[in-house]
Amino acid sequence: MSRPFVYLTAVTIMIAAMSTPVGAQKHYKELVYPSINDIRAPDPTRVTLKNGIILYLVEDHRLPLISLRARIGVGGINESADKVGLAGITGAVMRSGGTATMSGDEIDEVLESIGASIETSIGNASGSASMSLLKDNIDLGLSILADILMNPAFPEDKIELQKVQERSSIARRNDDPTNMGFREFSKLIYGAESVFARHTEYATLDAVTRDDLLAFHKAYYHPNNLMIGIWGDFDTGEIRKKIETAFQTWEKTNFKRPKTPTVDYTFDNTVDFIRKEDINQSTVVLGHIGGLRNNPDYFALQVMNDILSGGFSGRLMRHVRSDQGLAYAVFGQYSGNYDYPGIFYVGCMTKSETTVQAIRSMLHEVEQMKQETVTEEELALAKESFLNSFVFNFDTKGEIINRQMTYEYYDYPRDFLEKTKDGIEKVTKADVQRVAQKYLQPDKVRILVVGNDKDFDEALSVLGEVNEIDVTITMPGMSSDTPPASEDDMAQGKALFERSIEAAGGSNAFKAVQGIRQKGTVLMVTPQGEIGLDIEILVSLPNKMRVTSQTPMGEIVQILNGDQAWMITPMGTQPGPPSVKTSMMENIWQNLAFLYGQAETEGLTIQHIGQEDVEDKTTEILLITPPGFTGFKLYLDTATMLPVKKVARAMSPQGPMEIEDMLSDYREVAGMMLPFKSTTKRNGQPGGEVTIGEIEINPTLAEELFTVPE
């Protein structure tokens, strides 16, 4: 076709379009679209090897790549309650720890040299392994993968490294109110001790040993508990032989996968609250138990769910967020799991002052789903939303194979996805209202709010009796590694403590302390090197503290005033989380100038737990537990009865940390002997040194020092 003809044709089309009468244009609702073409997806070849390994294979010769995904019948649901976290550690260290013949670091080097990857993990419901590489390296890749799955070494150093990462996750788990809300809401539905809701704690993590990993692997890793899906540039017959060769020494057992635990649930109404005072908005989640995917009503429930909470077209978004302006975000889901019930929930993030109003509005929308028949437009939009996205279930060979393995893993028909498409297409308005009336119970929901109730529009009690949930992260205390206290231990502890007070200046001198000012320098040991800081500590007893640190990033101030804490940094001022409040109060208690004046405080316990040589000194060890706080150990030099060592446990971003302070350079201040130097170790490693240049007792401390500037 010549250029002039192309130009003429284009102009003709434009003129025709411009000459079309406006009245002839159709409204978008009148547009008719052709039906979606049937999707023809590749049907994976399924093979069972002699040792029980199930293979799913799909050839794809477009690129010289091969990808593999394995599923193992084991999960967190199979670990014991006192060792929650075992499954996740096992799955991670299988790969990072390497095998008896090749360390994890050596595996890293080999895979990096050929541009390949191999990963392993264990989730709550199943374990997995993955591999991706060039086709020319498939033999090497399969041999490494097989060795990892069959012969993991589980070295102690890699186990401890994984525990450090897990502890860090525990330490941060209350940072995000939305994550807190969903975590605790799962407990409300399934039960706090349920395998579907429990989570790792420091104590369960500490209980996991290398022997546990070995036993867990031995119990569940068998060829007849393994499914492998593989897709890429290979010949089906050849790749089957290669996999057989790689796993030929792995013998079949009589293993039978344990049944998934059942869920007991009683419909009722509860109002639950998590106090978080450092935020000005509430996270709200409310709902009840959901269902299973093999429920014949599953398809109608999915359409109902989309109408209620499906993005910008859902009723929650249109009415709660857009019309009433009650939420920054609003969401919901009627979930169905494969082998245990899912959860029905709706929720939102709203400003504190509209918390109860938003709850009532969401409950109203749930009730309306039962009372009102949905419109034709809502039904059509919900069904189209599903059907138009249906193609994305087939956009990669990996998705197709993974889905087939999932269906077999949970004993679902291979064509379940196609059945879902057909089921969605057949849903009617009457079906939607029927399942809403049958399954939704807005009068029997469990309501959870995370926020600051001081700013709520109404008290949560207007919705029912309020249960406040304690989300405090339990840190292992010093008592966990000491014998139970006897009366003699307590009596001896008190006597030794009183002797130490007298040696340090006498109880009258310490009882006279009302305030403290300390100035000095801190030398911190960090992975990046040593950092020197100037520091000033002000304490107004019993519960006010201000710590000012001059850092390379600028001045950082921490303030404690009763039950409130703040942090002032070059980035601005923000409320301190509960961990900061706790840490600052524990620091007050561990200050000898305060501690030695509190011998008669109700709830303070002092236990003698033995003797120990510290450097060249014989010491008596006291376990001191302030009321409401974690205990710490004080080591008293038997020659002087002054403390020479203090050991405490504190929270850090990486989890619980044991802090050992060697106390020295005692000087007399206001009739009291106080240490001016402290050398610190953190988890046994050098942590730094504090040198005090000045201690002032009962200085004038203005109240403004303990308040946050406007």
The mean pLDDT value for 418-422 works out to 91
**Residue 18's pLDDT band (cuts 50, 70, 90):** very low
**Residue 41's pLDDT band (cuts 50, 70, 90):** low
The mean pLDDT value for 672-700 works out to 93
Q: Which domains occur in the chain, in start order?
A: 45-174+197-246 (3.30.830.10), 270-393+405-468 (3.30.830.10), 478-706 (2.50.20.10)
CA–CA gap between residue 457 and residue 257 (Å, rounded): 51
Residue 293 makes CB contacts below 8 A (sequence gap 6+) with: 336, 337, 338, 412, 416
Q: What is the pLDDT of residue 577?
A: 74
Percent of the chain at pLDDT exceeding 70: 92
As a dihedral over the C-alpha atoms of residue 206, residue 209, residue 214, residue 219, rounded to 10 degrees, the angle is -50
The mean pLDDT value for 553-558 works out to 91
pLDDT score of 22 more than 60: no
Q: What is the pLDDT of residue 436?
A: 97
pLDDT score of 479 more than 60: no
CA–CA gap between residue 458 and residue 451 (Å, rounded): 13
For the entire predicted model, the pTM comes to 0.80
To the nearest whole number, what is the mean pLDDT of the chain?
91
pLDDT score of 374 more than 60: yes
Q: What is the pLDDT of residue 33?
A: 55
Percent of the chain at pLDDT exceeding 90: 78
The mean pLDDT value for 108-122 works out to 97
**Residue 1's pLDDT band (cuts 50, 70, 90):** very low
pLDDT score of 621 more than 70: yes
Interval 306-340: pLDDT, tens = 999 988 889 999 999 999 999 989 999 999 999 99
CB-based burial, 654-677: b 16+ in 10 Å, e otherwise: bbbbebbbbbeebeebeebbbbbb
CA–CA gap between residue 147 and residue 135 (Å, rounded): 19
User: Tokens in use for 138?
Assistant: 């498939």
Interval 634-670: pLDDT, tens = 999 999 999 999 999 887 766 778 899 999 999 999 9
C-alpha distance from residue 279 to each of 171, 489, 581, 583 (Å)? 19, 45, 16, 20
The mean pLDDT value for 354-383 works out to 95
Which residue in the block uniquely carries the two structure tokens 């007070």?
A: 501
